[in-house]
Amino acid sequence: MTQRSSAPAGPAPWRVLPAPVPPSPDHRDAWALHGSAAVSREADLDTYGHDDLALTAQYLWAKLQEQDYARRVRLVAVPADVPDPGPDDVVGSASVVLPRRSNHHVAHVAVAVRPAVRDGGSGSALVEAAEAIATAGGRSTVILESEHGGEPAEGTPGAMEPASGAGRIAADDPGAALCLKHGYALEQAARYSVLTLPVPPDRLAGLRAAATERAGADYRLVTWQDRAPQRWVDDWARLETRMSTDEPQAGLDLEEDPWDADRLRRYEQDIAASGHTYLLVAAEHVPTGTLAGFTMVQLQVDRPAPVFQEDTIVVGEHRGHRLGLLMKAGLLERLRELRPEARRVHTWNAEENAFMLGINVALGFRPAGVAGVWQKRLA
C-alpha cells in the first residue's frame, strides 16, 4: 500500500470508486469489501482499542444485496497510481445510503480511513464523492456520523456541544475535523456504552422482579429468535415505524420511515446473510393482544463475545410501567442461556435520551465513547 502523510499539490493522490457488488463475499470482485473491512478494523482499533464493532466483508456484502428499501453504495479510496487495486490498496471507505420508501431528501453517509494515511486527503475525497452521489440522487440533506473513543469533560478546550445541547465531541478528533471542514453542523451526540457480561444473576433477577411488579399482570414477555411468529409481524412493523419518529432526533431533518411485514422479512433475511443471528424480547399487552414494545440484539454467528443492541421502544400509551427495563432484563436472561460466552453488549443512545440512558445505567452499561451526528444541506 502506498502511504502518504500529507496532501501534496498536483494531481489528486486518491481515486474514489464504487465497490463492485460481487455474487459472494469470496468472489475476487469482493476485494473492495475486504479492503473496507480492514479499514473498519484498523479505524476501530485506533478509536476504541478493540475490534468488536469492526464490519466484516460478509456484513458489507449482505448490506449491498438489499437495494429495494434504499440505494446502497460502498465507496473505496485507493491510490490514484494503482490501476488494478486489491484489498491492501483500500485506504478509506464510505457507505452511502439513499432511502427509497421515505426520506427521499436524505443521504446517510459514514466514512472511515486507515489511521496511517489520515490527513492525506482520502477522507475528503470520500465525503465529496458521497455528496456527489447524494446530489445526483436528488438528495438535499446529508447526515454523517463520526465516531470517537471518549467524550471530553465539560469545559475541555475545543469540546463542541451539539445543537441538541446534550453531550460533547472533541472538535480536533479526525472525524469531527473532517465534518467541520466540509460544512457539517453537529446536531446530536450519541453516547456509546458497553455492558460487561455476565451481569450478576441476582442483580438481574432483582431488577426484573421490580420491573415485573411495576408492570403488573397486564403485560407479559414474548421472545423469538431469527424469525418472528406470523402473529406478531404486523405489530412489530408498527413498532419499527414508531421507532423512526419516537427516538430523539434533535434537529435532524428526518420523517417517518414506514415498515411493513415484507420489509421485516427482508430484514430478517439480511441479518442471516450478514452472518448474524438476532434475539428479540417484546412486551405483550395482554388485554388487547398487541405489542407495547420490544428490544432486540444481534450476535455474530462465528464470534461469541460481542453483542450488538438494536432498537428498543415502548410506545407512548404504554410508557411508565418499566417495560423498557423489564424487556431488557428479560433479554439478558435469555441471552445468558442462548450464548453463555457473550461478554459485551454495545449500544448507542442520544445523550438527551434520559429515559433510555437511565435504563441502561441501571443495567450496568458504562460510557465507552461518543458518536457525532452531523447534518449538511446541499446547495
Ligand X SMILES: CC(C)(COP(=O)(O)OP(=O)(O)OC[C@H]1O[C@@H](n2cnc3c(N)ncnc32)[C@H](O)[C@@H]1OP(=O)(O)O)[C@@H](O)C(=O)NCCC(=O)NCCS
Residues that bind ligand X in the complex, under the rule CB under 6 A: 246-247, 312-314, 319-324, 349, 353, 355-356
Nearest-CB residue to ligand X? 324
Prior bond of 198 cis (ω within 30°) = yes
User: In the complex with ligand X, which residue's Cβ is closer, 93 or 353?
Assistant: 353
The CA-based dihedral angle spanning residues 59, 307, 173, 124, taken in that order and rounded to the nearest 10 degrees: 10
CA distance 204 to 362: 10
Smallest gap from residue 267 Cβ to ligand X (A): 17
CB nearer to ligand X: pick between 119 and 246: 246
Q: Are 56 and 275 in contact (CB under 8 A)?
A: yes
Cell of 112: 472511515
Q: Are 243 and 345 in contact (CB under 8 A)?
A: no
Phi, psi of 149 (to 5 degrees): -70, -30
Looking at this protein, which amino acid is placed at residue 278? Y
Question: How open is the CA angle 358-360-366, to the nearest 5 degrees?
Answer: 110
CB of 212 to ligand X, least distance (A): 12
How far is the C-alpha of 351 from the C-alpha of 373, rounded, in Å?
11
CB of 349 to ligand X, least distance (A): 4
Least CB distance from residue 297 to ligand X, whole Å? 13
3-state per-residue secondary structure call for 257-280:
CCCCHHHHHHHHHHHHHCCEEEEE
Least gap, CB of 241 to ligand X (angstroms): 12
Nearer CB in complex with ligand X: 30/281: 281
Q: Which C-beta is closer to ligand X: that of 149 or that of 248?
A: 248
Three cell numbers, residue 37: 473491512
Q: At what angle do helices 201-215 and 354-363 cross, to 10 degrees?
A: 140
When the beta carbons of 99 and 324 are compared against ligand X, the nearer one is 324
Query: What is the smallest separation between the CB atom of 314 and ligand X, expressed in angstroms?
Result: 4
Q: Least distance to ligand X from the beta carbon of 249, Å? A: 10
Q: What angle do CA 149, 152, 158 make, to 5 degrees?
A: 115
Burial (0-12, 13-18, 19+ Cβ within 10 Å), 256: exposed
Q: Which three cell numbers stand for residue 139?
A: 438528495
- Nearer to ligand X (CB atom), residue 218 or residue 247: 247
H helices within 54-200, ranges in order? 57-65, 122-136, 174-181
C-beta closer to ligand X: residue 90 or 190: 190
- Judged by beta carbon, residue 222 or residue 356, the one nearer ligand X is 356
User: Least CB distance from residue 377 to ligand X, whole Å?
Assistant: 25
Find the shortest distance in angstroms from Cβ 292 to ligand X: 9
The answer to whether the beta carbons of residues 336 and 202 sit under 8 Å apart is no
Q: Which CB atom, from 66 or from 311, has the smaller least distance to ligand X?
A: 311
